[in-house]
Amino acid sequence: MKQTQKKILVTGGGGFLGSHLCERLLKEGNDVICLDNFFTGSRSNVLHLLDNPFFEMMRHDITFPLYVEVDEIYNLACPASPVHYQFNPVKTIKTNVHGAINMLGLAKRIRAKIFQASTSEVYGDPAVHPQPETYWGHVNPIGIRSCYDEGKRCAETLFFDYYRQHSLRIKVGRIFNTYGPNMNPDDGRVVSNFIVQALNNRPITIYGDGSQTRSFCYVDDLIEGILRFMASGDDFTGPVNLGNPTEFTILELARQIIDLAGSGSSIVFEPLPEDDPRQRRPDIRLAKERLNWEPRVGLGEGLRRTIEYFENLLR
- What per-residue confidence (pLDDT) applies to 136? 96
Q: Which tens digits make up the pLDDT trace of 245-272?
A: 999 999 999 999 999 999 999 999 998 8
Q: Is the pLDDT score of 32 beyond 90?
A: yes
Compute the distance between CA of residue 215 and CA of residue 279 in angstroms, rounded to an integer.
9
Q: What confidence tens digit (pLDDT) does each residue in 53-70 have?
A: 999 999 999 999 999 999
Q: Is the pLDDT of residue 1 over 70?
A: no
Which tens digits make up the pLDDT trace of 153-180? 999 999 999 999 999 999 999 999 999 9
Report the alpha-carbon distance of residue 73 to residue 80 in Å, rounded: 19
- Domain assignment present for 2: no
Which of 85, 148, 162, 179 is labelled catalytic?
A: 148
Q: pLDDT value at position 41? A: 87
- Examine the residue annotation and report whether 67 is marked as an active-site residue of this protein: no
Task: Answer yes or no: is pLDDT of 2 > 50.
Answer: no
Long-range pairs for 223-227: beta carbons < 8 A, 24 or more residues apart: 223/17, 223/20, 223/21, 223/24, 224/293, 225/173, 225/287, 225/291, 225/293, 225/295, 226/21, 226/74, 226/115, 226/117, 226/173, 227/24, 227/28
Residue 61 located in a structural domain: yes
The confidence score (pLDDT) of residue 278 equals: 83
pLDDT at 36 over 60: yes
Is residue 91 domain-resident?
yes
Q: In the prediction, which pLDDT does 9 show?
A: 98
Beta carbons of 18 and 25 less than 8 angstroms apart:
no
| For residue 275, pLDDT beyond 70 | no
- 22 within a domain of the structure (yes/no): yes
Q: CA 221, CA 240: separation in Å to the nearest integer?
A: 15
Domain containing 161: what range? 7-314
Residue 46 pLDDT more than 70? yes
pLDDT category of residue 39 using cuts at 50, 70 and 90? confident
How many domains does the chain fold into? 1
| DSSP assignment of 168-210 | --EEEEEE--EE-TT--TTS--HHHHHHHHHHTTPPEEEESSS
pLDDT of residue 89: 92
Q: What is the mean pLDDT of residues 235-247?
A: 97
Whether pLDDT at 227 is above 50: yes
Q: pLDDT tens-digit profile of 80-105?
A: 777 778 888 999 999 999 999 999 99
Q: What is the CATH number of the domain that holds 83?
A: 3.40.50.720
pLDDT at 3 over 70: no
In-domain check, residue 1: no
pLDDT over 70 percentage in the chain:
99
Low-confidence winner among 46-50, 81-85, 205-209 (lowest mean pLDDT): 81-85
- With bands split at pLDDT 50, 70 and 90, how would you rate the model's confidence at 4? confident
